[in-house]
Structure 1
Amino acid sequence: MELRHLRYFVSVAEELHFRKAAEKLHIVQPALSKQISALEKELGVQLLERDRRHVTLTEAGRVFLEEALEVLAQADGAVARARAVSRGEVGRLNIGFIQPALADLLPRSLQAFRQHYPGVLLTLSEATSRMAVERISSRNMHFAFTRLPIDARPDLSTEVLSEEPVLLVVPRDHRLVERGSVRLPDLAGEDVILIDRKVEPELHDYYVALCNDAGFSPHVAHEVNSTSVAIGLAAGGLGVAFAPSSARLAAQHGVAYLPIEGEAPRLTMGALWHSGPRPTVLDNFLRLRPWEAAPPPAVRTRAVPVVSRGV
């Protein structure tokens, strides 16, 4: 028995007329009658009562019709789902991100992508730049918003998306707050909170190099696994920390964000994905470039001072 036999039977059962059913199926009536007879012979039951004027369903035919409709619906659904997957309209997209992407880039990109592909399940996971490289290389992640540059590799593709200045985060009662900005040499002798090199080696080395270029080696008081933790320790008076300017968007009491004088250091946000064969759902994401979608309209609020006050 083939699906076409079920379709032939369903058409006759719905029309209760062989000629009309044959026309609907675009086949000749004798061929349709022959196929129905062959189906009944294969099943070993009579599905239809017919004479020259009337066609009616037997009891077995009524039961078989219900089952045939269900089978055809499942088959049609399987075909539709397979085609949707091949077009990247359904499926799963695994996206990694570093914390600063939460400020705007990640939610804006996801919102734009979902408007075009609402059937795709988005799986999100926070990951350091090193973790993102490893997971994408092993194909356990499709795409990541991460820090650039990374060491060039033939299996990875990258694209620069944005840059932002580095700020110094200090306790709100720190001596530098009154100045409103800071020179890097002013940090000589300060307790510095840095990202652990085992977590983000490039970022750690970048901050250390900033201090070295300013003529001193930083006194590293604490090493942490994220910028948000570094800011939290600074709020507790345990040192000063470097942070991207987007960190100001996350409320944190007890700290001030000071611009760095001169040619301010900058951090680069980028996109990372595997350069080999890609699933269609990732091709759609890259082709759409949702990170270029316009940001939502700004909401007017009162000006907020740079120094966060405790409550």
Structure 2
Amino acid sequence: MDIDQIRCFVAVADRLHFGRAAQAPDMLPASLGRQIRLLEERLQTRLFLRTTRSVALTEAGATLLADARALIAQAERFERRGRGLRRPEPAALRVGAIDSDAAGLMPQLLQLVRAAHPGLEIRLVERKTIHLLPKLLSGSLDIAICRPPEVRDPRLSFRTLFCETAVVALPERHPLADRPALDVAELADAPLIVPDRRSRPHSHDLTIRLLLDAGLTARIAQVAEEKHTIVGLVATGTGLAIVPRWTARPGVPGVRFVPLSVRGGAPRVTLALAAAWARGARDPMRDAFLAVLEAHLPALERSA
């Protein structure tokens, strides 16, 4: 039996007026009347005598009123008790990561965090940097592993971690695919697949800058937004791409990843990585996560 119908019955019985009774459960008088009719049909008895001027309880209605009040009180006790037994959901640390780090860094780091803090639940969100930073500001993320932006929001704290090494993604049958390493000059005439600068400014600028520094002009064959799309286009022979080393971690059929060298120093063939969080926000779980990250930075950096 619907407890709301019983509540409607008691509301009308207390006021003997459908209009005033409808104000209590916040419904239209016609809807209230429909609930009463359904209850009467269920009980197969009339509960009210209605005229255009008055409403009165029938003998059956008067007899059932005390039982109706008792049922409502019992339902409310049941609801309160059920809510009191509900266990709060365990708090979780919400961690954002860019795609290459979700593939390369996070599997290693999460294993270390779980070993150090077995009870810490982590929810991982994979997004681009331009999407992660607003989530930190809105409070929907607690910490993010991302590219440090050129202009840093003063409401966020950043901790530079290390740099990811860039490699060249080539079709496995490409003449350069079996080389142990490639010089930027060898990409002079190669069609390139580059990320969209609006969503991936760091990766886009790295590709263009490497070629410009070598006195070359980028021959852009395709612009794409997602890393997996870029690598997929490489597999089809659309062109070559300069990507973070961790992009190669899952392994992609039909694609080889070859280290890239630059004359005059390798630091230019890297992509910076940082941890970011809301400035001034206290969070013991985030601090525990950061402590594990800090303790294992050298080993994690070697894999990048």
* TM-score of the aligned structures, taking structure 1 as reference length: 0.60
The answer to whether 1:274 aligns with 2:278 is yes
Counterpart residue identity of residue 203, structure 1: S
Counterpart residue identity of residue 296, structure 2: E
Asked if the contact 2:129/2:147 (under 8 Å) is kept, the reply is yes
Give the deviation of 1:120 after TM superposition.
4.2
Runs (5+) with no aligned partner, structure 1 = 1-66, 297-311
Give the deviation of 1:236 after TM superposition.
0.9
Q: Percent identity?
A: 27
The alpha-carbon distance between structure 1 residues 279 and 260, as it changes in their structure 2 partners (threshold 3 A), is: closer
The match for 1:29 is none
Asked if the contact 1:196/1:204 (under 8 Å) is kept, the reply is yes
Give the deviation of 1:164 after TM superposition.
3.0
Deviations 1:40-84 (A, max 9, x none): xxxxxxxxxxxxxxxxxxxxxxxxxxx9xx98xx69x98xx7xxx
**Distance in 2 separating the partners of 1:273 and 1:291:** 18
**Distance in 2 separating the partners of 1:258 and 1:287:** 33
Asked if the contact 1:170/1:255 (under 8 Å) is kept, the reply is yes
Give the deviation of 1:132 after TM superposition.
1.3
Q: Secondary structure at the match of 2:159?
A: strand
Deviations 1:126-155 (A, max 9, x none): 011111122112222111111235423311
The match for 2:108 is 108
The match for 1:154 is 154
Q: What are the equivalent positions in structure 2 for 1:179-190 lying under 5 Å apart?
A: 179-190=179-190
The alpha-carbon distance between structure 1 residues 291 and 245, as it changes in their structure 2 partners (threshold 3 A), is: farther
The alpha-carbon distance between structure 1 residues 116 and 257, as it changes in their structure 2 partners (threshold 3 A), is: closer
Count of residues in correspondence between the two structures: 217
Asked if the contact 1:109/1:290 (under 8 Å) is kept, the reply is no
Counterpart residue identity of residue 187, structure 1: L
Asked if the contact 1:105/1:291 (under 8 Å) is kept, the reply is no
Runs (5+) with no aligned partner, structure 2 = 1-76
**Distance in 2 separating the partners of 1:98 and 1:115:** 23
The match for 2:127 is 127
The match for 2:10 is none
The alpha-carbon distance between structure 1 residues 260 and 119, as it changes in their structure 2 partners (threshold 3 A), is: closer
Give the deviation of 1:251 after TM superposition.
1.5
The match for 1:99 is 99
Q: Secondary structure at the match of 1:148?
A: coil
Give the deviation of 1:278 after TM superposition.
2.7
The alpha-carbon distance between structure 1 residues 293 and 214, as it changes in their structure 2 partners (threshold 3 A), is: closer
Give the deviation of 1:194 after TM superposition.
0.9
**Distance in 1 separating the partners of 2:121 and 2:177:** 46
The alpha-carbon distance between structure 1 residues 176 and 123, as it changes in their structure 2 partners (threshold 3 A), is: same
Q: Secondary structure at the match of 1:96?
A: strand
Q: Secondary structure at the match of 1:175?
A: coil
The answer to whether 1:284 aligns with 2:288 is yes
Mean Cα deviation higher: 275-284 or 162-171: 275-284
Name the Cα RMSD after superposition.
3.2
Give the deviation of 1:171 after TM superposition.
1.2
Q: What are the equivalent positions in structure 2 for 1:1-311 lying under 5 Å apart?
A: 90-148=90-148, 150-177=150-177, 179-261=179-261, 262=263, 263-264=265-266, 265-289=269-293, 292=296
* TM-score of the aligned structures, taking structure 2 as reference length: 0.61
The alpha-carbon distance between structure 1 residues 248 and 151, as it changes in their structure 2 partners (threshold 3 A), is: same
Asked if the contact 2:160/2:273 (under 8 Å) is kept, the reply is yes
